[in-house]
Amino acid sequence: MTTFVKKYVMGCDMCQQMKNRPQQPFGPLMPNKVPNGPWKIISMNLINQLPESNGYNAICVIVDRFTKRALSQTSFGYISINSLTILMVSMALESP
């Protein structure tokens, strides 16, 4: 009986299109706020565990969501929040 049901379901186009989903339906999309000026909302990514080059093994990338401008700086893979803050401020001050 089980093999018959499996063969029937595998051969039925309607059964293949109407599969039961094991997860809850997704909620409504919530758009991100639009910033009202440059450097009001940023995103940051620390890419670590890269091969070492000139003593560094990570890259810190900061993107301004308003202007879509990206700043990148070599860094160390595991840094404290204080070091990260200093890195971000130095990147912002060095940018033209």
40-91 pLDDT tens trace: 888 888 888 889 888 888 888 888 889 898 888 888 777 788 887 887 788 7
3-state helix, strand, coil in the chain (%, to 5): 30, 20, 50
What confidence category does residue 95 fall into, taking pLDDT thresholds of 50, 70 and 90?
A: low
pLDDT of residue 71: 85
Tokens describing residue 85: 């803050």
Distance CA 48, CA 44 (A): 13
Q: Tell me the pTM.
A: 0.59
Query: Domain ranges in the chain?
Result: 32-96
Q: What are phi and psi of 16, to 5 degrees?
A: -70, -30
Instruction: State residue 87 phi and psi, 5-degree precision.
Output: -65, -45
Question: Locate tokens 């990570």: which residue?
Answer: 58
- Looking up tokens 């909302």 gives 41
The CATH number assigned to the domain with range 32-96 reads 3.30.420.10
